[in-house]
Amino acid sequence: MSQQVLTLDISGRPYAWLDPQEAVTHYAKGRVAWELGPRLTTFHGGHNRHGLRTQIDVAPIIAIAGSELMAAQAWEPLHLSDRDNALLFKRDRWTCAYCGQKFPRRMLTRDHILARSRGGKDSWTNCVTACQRCNNEKGAKRVEDFKPLIYVPYAPCRFEHFLLSGRNILADQHDYLAARLPRHSRSRGH
Ligand SMILES: [Zn+2]
């Protein structure tokens, strides 16, 4: 699995994880305003009019010039997907919110604190990680009729969201994102 490029808007907010092949098109269009970190990979193009072969070095972190990427949504927390539990389990460190034990991913489930049948949403603050056993025991009970939560679910900020969603995150990328977390989430151990 190849490394990804952490792509930022011009203000330094994470915008997307891109494959190097996608990132290089921003270089080719002259849209990379600044970059951080040692070279991730190099792309070789054709020969220019001086007979030199063009070469583009791609950095692990790039900021894209232009205001079009600074969409309003870029400033808001990202939603929890209703299909993919990977980010949820990672946020909760593979720990059941009811019994407090860690489990392998295959034994974990998504629990809706307020059950969907009662109108509960697939949101970061209404979902926690639960082991199969606790989830079965809870069933359709209300949380106040079951067990107190061991931790309080929260919506990750944009920087943490990118920490959770990146794969094979490089040290430079991790440091960039982790340094911008609010103090309380930095102590959670990123
Ligand atoms: Zn449990």
Instruction: For residue range 21-32, list pLDDT tens digits in order.
Output: 999 999 999 999
The pLDDT, as a whole number, for residue 96 is: 98
The pLDDT, as a whole number, for residue 81 is: 83
> What average pLDDT does this structure show over 170-185?
88
Shared domain check, 67 and 21: yes
Shared domain check, 134 and 181: no
Express as a percent the part of the chain with pLDDT over 90: 67
CA of 95 from ligand 1 middle (Å) equals: 8
Shared domain check, 181 and 139: no
Residues spanned by the domain of 25: 5-77+159-186
Shared domain check, 53 and 13: yes
Which one, of 87, 33, 42, lies nearest residue 61 by Cα?
33
Q: Is residue 154 part of a domain?
A: no
Shared domain check, 73 and 15: yes
Residue type, 189: G
Q: Is residue 60 part of a domain?
A: yes
Shared domain check, 108 and 91: yes
Shared domain check, 73 and 90: no
Q: Is residue 55 part of a domain?
A: yes
In three-state form (DSSP H/G/I as H, E/B as E, the rest C), the secondary structure along 117-161 is HHCCCCCCCCEEEEEHHHHHHHCCCCHHHCCCCCCCCCCCCHHHH
Shared domain check, 69 and 14: yes
Shared domain check, 98 and 132: yes
Express as a percent the part of the chain with pLDDT over 70: 90
CA of 155 from ligand 1 middle (Å) equals: 21
CA of 137 from ligand 1 middle (Å) equals: 9
Length of the chain: 190
Domain count, the chain: 2
Q: Is residue 94 part of a domain?
A: yes
Shared domain check, 167 and 115: no
The pLDDT, as a whole number, for residue 146 is: 95
CATH code where residue 93 lies: 1.10.30.50
CA of 17 from ligand 1 middle (Å) equals: 33
CA of 144 from ligand 1 middle (Å) equals: 16
Shared domain check, 92 and 73: no
- d(Cα 182, Cα 184) in Å, to the nearest integer? 6
Q: Is residue 152 part of a domain?
A: no
